[in-house]
Amino acid sequence: MEQLPQCLFDVFALSLPRGLGFGENPPVSSWRSDDWITVGALTMNDTSNRHGVLVMRRREDEVWAVLRWDKDAFTEEEATAILRQACDEKAARLPIPPGTRRRPSLADVSGKEPSGIFKLLAEPCRHRGAWILNQLYLAMPNPDENWASDCRTDNFHTRLWEALLLASFREQGLLVTQDHPSPDFHVSNRKGGEAWVEAVTANPAERYDHANAQQAPMPLDRRELMLGPAAVRFAKTIKSKLDKRYAHMPHVAGRPFAIALADFHAPGSMVWSRSALMGYLYGLYAHEVEVEGKRVAVPEDVETLMGDQRIPAGLFMTPAGEELSAVIFSNAATLSKLSRVPRSFGGPTEDYRYVRFGEFADFSPGALRGIPFCMDVNSDEYRALWEPYPYEPWTAEMEVFHNPRAKHPINPALFPEADHWLPIDGVMDCKRYYKHSILKSRTLILRANQPVPKVEDLVFEETDDSADS
């Protein structure tokens, strides 16, 4: 058997019902067979210091199945011997259990022309991202029958968003199931209770080519930025989901219900649309004033969004929004995210390097501007941002906007590693897990011999959404 880097085991462990939620029996080392069909972990109980074993093997459709999982049962020598036998034995892939639908191959593009954005995954600089997207797809407990074909065609971003949500949920140790067609996920943990989550993307009125589209201009007027077309698009997207009355389904009724939203309504819009979501949900507009020579943000209540339709602002403050417990948001449902995570594992950079630049959030009272940064993704400096993880985590950009008037509030402990927003005395308060929160970023793909640019030489034009350079 060969030792398996912990970062790779963490990817495969996302196939477990609770992902990386090992509780009192965390892995202390991980191993694999020569053919990569079998992987295993040596675990150790935090209290007894006795060891356990976890053995997983690929099925014929590449989905991982658990062969053995014993906790707090062996000496280290006994557990290691069990792992060695499992990894060294000659074994074929496991048969698919009777009554279980075979998982279609994500790479099988026969029959339909793949979308331009899916084709980008075939570029050498994105091979790691393509590999990890496939691992996340294989980790899903019960994906929609059309998941793979949708991902290859025009619904790529919707399926990508679902895959990233699964990775984030299980990275945080949540039990994730898909036992009902809708909503998309049921999640729970021992400290935060449960919630149902429906994933959705804000899409354009007219489709655009995600692979080659020119970036849409960011609104220069601050009121338009927070209350203009982006907020209107969010309002329509969320309403379309609320109209389906998920919260009234028998299996959902009486439990917290959240919508997980990613933005693709215009090319590169996710770099600036986050504030529009906050404006719509809470009915707040932050205008600039000068206090003691410094420009700061001051909140102002608003009743409607801009535009002829006069859509009410402040969904969370209305009876129409009381069934919605929270909105989960990320500005990183991107190709770059897929590649950055495995690049941040470390090791040789091969022919390419990924450099991320943008702005950290400045949580000083009234701050209006972010803090610029520029880092090589495969660097100790970058990895240090994400302690206790030794690599960029899936949850790094996840934000949960809580409804203060929800019938069934979500306990923040349900998503322990996300940023949580809740208005307190008219001021938005944020509880953070990571020391740094990234407001916006762009990921440059450089040749391995190209130097990392200086942050002052970079001009911020777009998010990770589409055209990497």
Average pLDDT, stretch 140-150?
A: 95
pLDDT digits (tens, 9 = 90+) for 164-198: 999 999 999 999 999 999 999 999 999 999 999 99
Biggest CA pair distance of the chain: 73
Tokens 């819009």, located at residue: 269
Nearest residue to 386 via CA among 395, 375, 399: 395
Q: Using CA of residue 279, residue 282, residue 287, residue 292, what is the dihedral sign?
A: negative
* pLDDT, mean over the chain: 90
DSSP 408-428: SPPPGGGSTTSEEEEEETTEE
User: Is 182 in a helix, a strand, or coil?
Assistant: coil
Average pLDDT, stretch 339-350?
A: 88
In Å, how far from its chain's centre is CA 394? 5
Contact 259, 198 (CB under 8 A): yes
pLDDT digits (tens, 9 = 90+) for 249-263: 999 999 999 999 999
Average pLDDT, stretch 119-127?
A: 92
Q: In what order do the strands lie in the sheet with 257-263?
A: 175-177, 185-189, 193-202, 257-263, 326-329, 399-402, 419-424, 427-431
Q: What confidence score (pLDDT) does residue 463 get?
A: 37
Q: What confidence score (pLDDT) does residue 461 get?
A: 39
Contact 297, 364 (CB under 8 A): no
Q: What confidence score (pLDDT) does residue 123 get?
A: 92
Cα(419)–Cα(430) distance, integer angstroms: 7
In Å, how far from its chain's centre is CA 8? 18
Side-chain-facing half-sphere of 18: CA atoms under 13 Å: 10
Cis peptide before 348 (omega within 30 of 0): no
Position 469 pLDDT exceeds 60: no
Nearest residue to 196 via CA among 247, 257, 250: 257
Side-chain-facing half-sphere of 439: CA atoms under 13 Å: 17
pTM for the model stands at 0.92
* Pairing mode of beta strands 193-202, 257-263: parallel
Q: What confidence score (pLDDT) does residue 467 get?
A: 32
